[in-house]
Amino acid sequence: MNPKQIPIGLSIGSSGLAHLGNIVAAAEQLTVVGQTRLADALASFWRQLKPSRFPYLVPAPSERIDVRRTLREFIRGGGVLTRLSYHRKLRAKRLVIIFDCSESNIKAGQLVLLSALLRVDPKVTVLGFDSELFSLPGRVTSPAELGRMLAARSTVIRTRGERWLELIDLPGILQATSRYVSATAQSYLLLVSDLFVADRPLWDESRLHNAAMLLRRYKKVWLMDTWPMGAEFAEAEDGAVTGTMEGLDIVLGRRRHELRDVKFRQAESTQEYSLSASILARLRQIGKPGVLFEAWRFTPLVRQLGFVNNDAATGSSRLVYVPHIRPQDIGDVFREVFEPQPL
C-alpha cells in the first residue's frame, strides 16, 4: 500500500493497519493532522489486544512457608522432612519499553510510533534515552507535542555539550532502568531504536558479557529496528552504512526545485557535511550511486548478543531482533505479554 493512500481517521481499522508495511515511513508522508490520527488509530489497535485487567498475575514462589503442605509432605515421607513447601503468590507481569530518543531516531514517523505506545496502557513503563535515561510522561499524547518536548531536551543537550547516549551504552542504560522499574522473572523488555551509533560498534568481552547478563534478567527481549532499509542505503557485515545521492534526497526530503546549499551533522557525532546546490545538481545529473557519507550501526553487536530474526520462526527465543516496524510486529509483542496465564 502506498503510504500516501492510507485512509486516515475513523476509516482506519484493524484491516487497514494490517496492510501498513512500515509505520515510520508511512507517517512521514502524512500531514500533522494525519500523523495524529494515525497515532490514535495505532494506540486503539494495540489497546484492543490487552485484557480488561493488566498486568495479568501469574503464579510465583513465595518466601512464606506453607505449614499444612509441609506437614503433609512430612507424613508422606514417613516422618522424614525432605523439603519445605512455600505459599504461592501472584506476581504481576511487566512490560518495559525503552525508546531511543537520540537525534537520529526522532523524526516524524518515530514520534507517531512513540505517541501511540505511550497510550496503550498506563501500567506499561515507557522510558526514553538521549543524554540520559528518563521517564516519558503519558500525558504527552500527540506527536507534535512530543516533538516539541524532545526538541527542547535536544537544545539543552547541545547547549551543555553533553554526550548523546546510544546503543553502545546499552549496559549503562539497562542498569539505569532499575531506578524506574525492577526486572523480575515476569518482566518483558521492548527496545526501539534505529541502531545508528557514532563510531564503529566494538565491545570488549567484559562489556559484551555484562550486556548479555543484564538482558537475561528479562523473560523476553525484543529489539525493534525503526530504520527503513532500502536500496538507497547499504549496510556491510561490520555495521558500516553508505548513503547514495538518492539516500540523501530521502534524508533531506527536498524536491529538485527546492535545492539550496546543504549542511548537516551526522546524528550522535560531531562529523559535519557540506554540499552546495551546484554540487547536488551535478550529482543528480551524473545519476550514479556514488557514496556521499558513511555511518555505523549496532547490527554486529546485535548478532553477538544473541538476537535472532523473528522471521526465522524463532519466536521462542529470549532475545528477538525485529527488522520491521509494522503494526502487527508490535501487536505480537503486546499479545504475548498480555496473554492470560492460568493461575
Read off the pLDDT band of 20 (50, 70, 90).
confident
Read off the pLDDT band of 215 (50, 70, 90).
very high
pLDDT per residue over 38-62, tens digit each?
999 999 888 887 665 544 555 555 5
pLDDT per residue over 76-104, tens digit each?
877 777 777 766 655 567 899 999 998 88
Residue 12 has pLDDT above 60, yes or no: no
Confirm if 51 and 334 have CB atoms less than 8 A apart. no
Q: Quick one: pLDDT at residue 309?
A: 78
Percent of the residues in the chain that have a pLDDT greater than 70, as a whole number: 69
Q: Kindly report which listed range (70-84, 121-135, 308-322) carries the lowest average pLDDT score.
A: 308-322
Residue 298 has pLDDT above 50, yes or no: yes
Residue 341 has pLDDT above 90, yes or no: no
pTM value > 0.75: yes
Per-residue pLDDT averaged across 251-263, rounded? 56
pLDDT per residue over 263-291, tens digit each?
656 666 666 667 676 766 666 666 555 55
- How far is C-alpha 304 from the chain's CA centre? 19
